[in-house]
Amino acid sequence: MKLVCGSKIIKKSFALVLTALMLSGLIITNSVFAKSLLDEITQRGKIKIGSTLKYPPQMYVDSSGNPAGYDVELMRMLAKDMKVELEVVDMDFPGLIPALLAGKVDMLSVGLVNTPERALSLEFTDGYVPYRQVMVVPKNSTAKSINDLNKRGIKITALMGSTAENLAKTKLPKAQIVGLDQQEAMMEVTSGRADGVVAEEYLAMPLVANFPNKVKILNPNEPFKDEMGAWAVRPGDYRFLRYLNNWLRYYKVRGTLDAMYEEIIKPSWYKK
């Protein structure tokens, strides 16, 4: 009798454990899939993408007042494939991540680099846009290398909150690093009020072309580093993140992304 009762208890306990596992599986499934932002976007019929339209040719406002550039073309393709309307939400760079986390936009498309600090609060897709960070200095600068700028009394500017600003602080700990709006950061150097600005090469090249007698690239053949910009989404929605990664990979393997980058940004200086 004791053996029979023990067997029944074991079977009953096993059934309870199995039921609990099945229920937990349903809960996990519901939390990962049923509540995905992907479903909300398709039901809403619109995707809201945050960006900073100040950096031609990657993302900017054209002469007609419409969003334009490499990132914007990708946004349009994404919205078309999702069969939804696109709303580009233009805002200052420092406000992008707070807006995403507050649910004001669905994702960010501004070429954010996936850093450990940002990854604490965001999820990132695969990279979709290559970057090279360089140093632009006044034309009459006596600096021969980056190390020549690592001294007290030297002022270096960069986009506030960007990897360029963090890079400058790491590489030039003795210099004064000032985070500003991108345009202001570059104009500080053309006006002679700063000794250098760290910026993406695609931004530095047009600056030098427009002010050939005022600025130059200090390290054209030895950039700080190559990076990849990515899309950013709120954490935990793996279905939406997986969809975006699948979308990027689909067009990457077909050569579409590379062709668009070459056509719109034309980074002849990027090729090795």
Please write the tens of the pLDDT for every residue from 207-244: 999 999 999 999 888 777 678 999 999 999 999 999 99
Asked if 215 and 140 sit in the same domain, the reply is yes
Structure tokens at 216: 């130059």
66 lies in some domain:
yes
Q: Is residue 8 one of the residues assigned to a domain?
A: no
> Does residue 25 fall inside a structural domain?
no
Q: 109 and 232: one domain?
A: yes
Q: Which range of residues forms the domain containing residue 184?
A: 132-226
Cβ atoms of residues 213 and 130 within 8 Å: no
The 10s digit of each residue's pLDDT in 14-38 is: 555 555 555 555 444 444 445 899 9
**Cis ω before 267 (30° cut-off from 0):** no
Please list the helix, strand and coil fractions of the chain in percent, rounded to the nearest 5, in that order: 45, 25, 30
Element (H, E) at 140: none
Same domain flag for 73 and 45: yes
By the 8 A CB rule, do 80 and 49 touch? no
Number of domains in the chain: 2
Q: Is residue 272 part of a domain?
A: no
pTM: 0.71
Residue 240 sits in a domain of what CATH number? Answer: 3.40.190.10
**Residue with the larger pLDDT of the pair 270 and 235:** 235
Spatial neighbors of 63 by CB under 8 A, at least 6 apart, are none
CB 173, CB 149: distance < 8 Å: no
**Through-space distance between the first and last CA atoms of the chain, rounded to whole angstroms:** 81
Contact 77, 94 (CB under 8 A): no
5 found inside a domain: no
Together in a domain, 109 and 165: no
Note whether 238 and 114 are same-domain residues: yes
Return the pLDDT at 20.
56
